[in-house]
Amino acid sequence: MSLSFLHKKSWHTGNTAVQKEVYKAEVEEKQAKKKAAERDTQLKREKEAEELERAIHGEVAADKVKLGFMYKDPNAPKLDEDGVPIAPPPPKAEKSKIDITSSFVEAVDDSNVVYDDNDDEATRAFKRMMAGVTTTAVEEAPEVDARTSRIEAGVKGEEGLFTDANNNLSALEKSVGKKRMAGGAGSYANQVEMFPELKNAPMAAGLAGANISVRFNPLGKSLRQGCSGGEEGEGGEEGGEEDEEKRLKKAKKFLEKQKKKELKKLKKEKKKEKKKRKKEKKRKKEEESDSESDSDSDSS
């Protein structure tokens, strides 16, 4: 139990970091041994093939075998230890990707090029290049399903621009926009609609029914419009001088509480310092008294 702290040392074998490093080193060593064994088997196989070719066809054929790796197909299957080709893994099924953007088709005029029946695509491309035939990219219109949205399909207007964004708005969003354009969210009609008790509120002469932005300050109430922060009357701000006075009072109370807390902390710190000083004085007095008693005993 007394030596348990050694497990926290960086060099201790019981430390998790050390165990992790040891595990990594063991894995790397196994991989290196495996690669070395594979390399040895490959060299052994090549030497056997070279000796066999030398015994059958002579030294010149053996020298050709040394350079045989240059003529091997890189896509040929790998061989196991017995020289049997390893079957490649089955190909993974690729997900079909549909691109609704404009696609391109190569238009090739290769009527003057002579192709053979055994030519692959690379050979055909090489013959077209030698004949001076060029390919031109022709844009093909995308096939768009009717269920796709207007933005995905890229519906355009007469001038090549997207159609009006108001077509994608809901009725509620359109109504809010109309109210703001008519005189803002704080207009008289809008406030009466939101707060029916303001319908018969007294107003200045000539302003009743006018399309202007107004603000009511009824007694004993604070009318709020909206929930997000913003302009007064629209973003949830309380109006009136009474509300401003309340905010000032709250701020003053908060500052007073902070001052009281700071004063309490200072008083506690001062008390702690006084206690420390008293303890130091007592300790010094005790040391002096002990030294005097020791000196008296020595003199006696």
Q: What is the pLDDT of residues 97-116, one digit of tens each?
A: 444 444 444 555 676 777 78
Question: Alpha carbon of 122 to those of 70, 118, 137, 166, 267: distances in Å?
Answer: 21, 11, 19, 53, 91
Whole-model pTM: value is 0.24
Q: Which amino acid is at 25?
A: A
> Are 18 and 10 spatial neighbours (Cβ–Cβ below 8 Å)?
yes
> Are 245 and 261 spatial neighbours (Cβ–Cβ below 8 Å)?
no
Q: What is the pLDDT of residues 66-83, one digit of tens each?
A: 777 777 777 776 776 666
pLDDT at 101 (0 to 100)? 45
Q: What is the DSSP letter of 138?
A: E
Residues in the chain: 300
Q: Is 212 helix (H, G, I), strand (E, B) or coil?
A: coil
Q: Which amino acid is at 122?
A: A
pLDDT at 254 (0 to 100)? 87
Question: Alpha carbon of 77 to those of 14, 83, 86: distances in Å?
Answer: 46, 11, 6
Run means of pLDDT, 10 residues per run, the chain, 300 residues? 68 80 93 93 87 85 78 71 70 56 52 77 81 56 48 44 54 60 59 74 66 63 50 44 78 87 90 90 84 69
pLDDT at 144 (0 to 100)? 47
Q: Which strand (E) or helix (H) includes residue 140? A: strand 135-140
